[in-house]
Amino acid sequence: MSEFFKALRIDKTETGQAVEIVSFADDDLMDGNVTVRVTHSTVNYKDGLAITGKSPVVRRFPMIPGIDFAGVVEASADPDFKPGDRVVLNGWGLGETHLGAYAQRARVKGDWLIPLPACFSPAQVMAIGTAGYTAMLSLIALERFGLEPAQGPAIVTGASGGVGSIAIAILAKTGWTVIASTGRLDESPYLKELGATDVIDRAQLSTPGRPLGKELYAAGIDSVGSHTLANVLAQTKGLGAVAACGLAQGMDLPTSVAPFILRGVALIGINSVTASKVRRLEAWDRLARDLDPAKLEALTTTIGFDEIIPTAHAILDGTIRGRVVVEIG
């Protein structure tokens, strides 16, 4: 006899999609060799797109959205996990092609899971979430490129959002001078508390600019895309690099080859969805060392299951600061 549990479900309709909290059957979960009792999730920008339907994030219906979770293993046919283990999942199509995190239970492939880092609680891991893990992958990529804080400041776009907030905190902790770009200048005290040295209005970057501008930044972490990323590239110093990990302004990139062939600037793409387990473990190990728990607490808001839908709309409206943890219950 199938067990039932609470879930947020998206169904396709003739006019778009319907989103509601339902009682979901265990037998209707998708294939996987590990069943997890989900304790915490988070609301990412991609979750906002999925729930509002403003972008075709969801690829099958019905769908339980939510791209990451922390939880406890209930049953496992994977030798790496046993009942009672605490685990984390980021990406792998969760909430897009595979039933996701906004439910009290999930069935997934063991290869997608990593052990919950011992230094973090489940709530802290989701306060970091895919956004923070992506920010750390970006920092590691810049370091692998050979960049160091002595070479100049780093710019973070979308600074008030989840990726941006954690990017500022970890860049500052590792010695970088950080310039934060945001559309919400009233958040300047918050961004400086996280570690930003200066805060600029995103309007300086969000409109069409020149192929090359004044060399201002040695490095950048961009979660915005479009004209913003183009202008950051144009203002990056010679032999600098920008890690691109988002598209809040748009998927387009209206730039030229000038920064690349005249200054040797590099554009590094960050794919957090299917990163290898080795890369994931490295990123979480670095987060354990280079993210101040006090700053993590300062940038985190906690909500209940019933608040997921309005929060998804708010994150697209740009009214959410930092990270949002969902207590699944």
Helix orientation angle between 122-144 and 277-290, rounded to the nearest 10 degrees: 100
DSSP letter for each residue of 277-323: HHHHHHHHHHHHHHS-HHHHHHTEEEEEGGGHHHHHHHHHHT---SE
Question: Both tokens of residue 40?
Answer: 């915490």
- Check whether the bond before 62 is cis (ω within 30° of 0): yes
Amino acid, single-letter form, for residue 123: A
257-296 pLDDT per residue, tens = 999 999 999 999 999 999 999 999 999 999 999 999 999 9
pLDDT of residue 286: 97
CA distance 24 to 214: 56
Can 4-116+299-327 and 130-269 be said to share one CATH topology?
Answer: no
pLDDT of residue 235: 98
Please state, in angstroms and as integers, the Cα–Cα distance from residue 273 to each residue in 266, 277, 325, following that order: 22, 11, 19
Domain ranges of the chain: 4-116+299-327, 130-269
pLDDT of residue 46: 93
Angle at 87 between CA 86 and CA 90, to 5 degrees: 160
Domain 130-269: CATH superfamily, name plus number: NAD(P)-binding Rossmann-like Domain (3.40.50.720)
Structure-derived torsion over alpha carbons of residues 127, 131, 137, 142, reported in degrees to the nearest 10: -110
152-202 pLDDT per residue, tens = 999 999 999 999 999 999 999 999 999 999 999 999 999 999 999 999 999
Q: Give the chain's mean pLDDT.
A: 96
pLDDT at 2 over 80: no
Question: Both tokens of residue 234?
Answer: 């144009």
287-317 pLDDT per residue, tens = 999 999 999 999 999 999 999 999 999 999 9
pLDDT of residue 50: 96
CA 303 to the chain's CA centroid: 18
pLDDT of residue 1: 61
CA distance 26 to 15: 29
pLDDT of residue 15: 87
Q: Is the pTM of this model over 0.85?
A: yes
213-227 pLDDT per residue, tens = 999 999 999 999 999
pLDDT of residue 115: 97
Question: Both tokens of residue 26?
Answer: 């265990």
| Residues making up the chain, counted from first to last | 329
Question: Both tokens of residue 175?
Answer: 């010695």
158-170 pLDDT per residue, tens = 999 999 999 999 9
Find where tokens 């959205």 sit.
Answer: 65
pLDDT at 137 over 80: yes
Q: Of the candidates 74, 108, 70, which has an alpha carbon nearest to the alpha carbon of residue 92? A: 108
pLDDT at 100 over 90: yes
pLDDT at 16 over 90: no
Q: What is the mean pLDDT of residues 201-218?
A: 97
CA distance 76 to 86: 12
Q: What percent of the chain has pLDDT over 90?
A: 97
CA distance 326 to 14: 30
Helix orientation angle between 162-173 and 277-290, rounded to the nearest 10 degrees: 70
Judge whether 265 and 256 are in contact, CB under 8 Å: no
Least confident of 52-56, 145-149, 175-179, 277-281: 52-56
Which listed CATH number (3.30.70.920, 3.40.50.720, 3.90.180.10, 3.20.20.140) goes with 4-116+299-327?
Answer: 3.90.180.10
